[in-house]
Amino acid sequence: MAIYGATLYQSNKNETDIRYDVIGKDSEAFATGDIVTADGGVLDVVDNATDAIAGVIVKADTMTSSNTATAKVHPGYIPSDAETVWLMGCNAALTGDQTDYGKFFGLTGATSLQQVDVTTGVTTTTSRQVMIVKVDPNSVGGTEGPKQCLVKFFRTPSLNF
């Protein structure tokens, strides 16, 4: 079973540390678990391998076409940091902890379809968005296990390399 988006796996923060400080982009549909960026002062689903990761949406919500001017909805998200660990799916199988631990990858996919972009390969450029922490963390094994991993967000507003 494919995993999309990011699910909180381990955090030193209080799980109720949800922020509502960035207005949602006009007409944006947010799914629970979507990885978002604060692009141009509005919250937007990450759709570019160079987007900095602001956090992960906690509740699905669709913005109106005039959200920034009229409705002014601020979607809830768990802010990203260098310590929080997230469970994510991959668009291809990783090899294993000995080979993939500490490697950097970008993200791929639109809302409700985001995954670690293993197909494009390891990156050392501005498209480093996640770092692999563990492969097959739930010991699924087979062909699906290596398509699941734990990551830390690398390209965040505070770590914007």
Q: Which of 7-11, 91-95, 116-120, 122-126 is the least confident region?
A: 122-126
- Going from N- to C-terminal start, the domains of the chain cover 6-79, 85-153
Statement: residue 157 has pLDDT above 70: no
For 132, the enclosing helix (H) or strand (E) is: strand 130-135
Per residue in 12-63, pLDDT tens?
876 668 999 999 999 999 999 999 999 888 999 998 888 889 999 999 999 9
At residue 103, the pLDDT reads 96
| pLDDT of 160 over the 50 cut | no
Q: How many Cβ atoms sit within 10 Å of the Cβ of residue 96?
A: 13
**Mean pLDDT in residue range 89-111:** 95
Which pLDDT score, from 0 to 100, does residue 121 have?
92
Pairing mode, strands 42-45 and 23-24: parallel
Tell me what pLDDT residue 125 has. Answer: 83
Per-residue confidence (pLDDT) for residue 161, from 0 to 100 = 39
* Tens-digit pLDDT profile for residues 114-143: 999 999 999 988 889 999 999 999 999 999
- Residue 71, classified by CB atoms within 10 Å of its CB into exposed (0-12), middle (13-18) or buried (19+), is middle
Residue 59 half-sphere exposure, CB side, CA atoms within 13 Å? 10
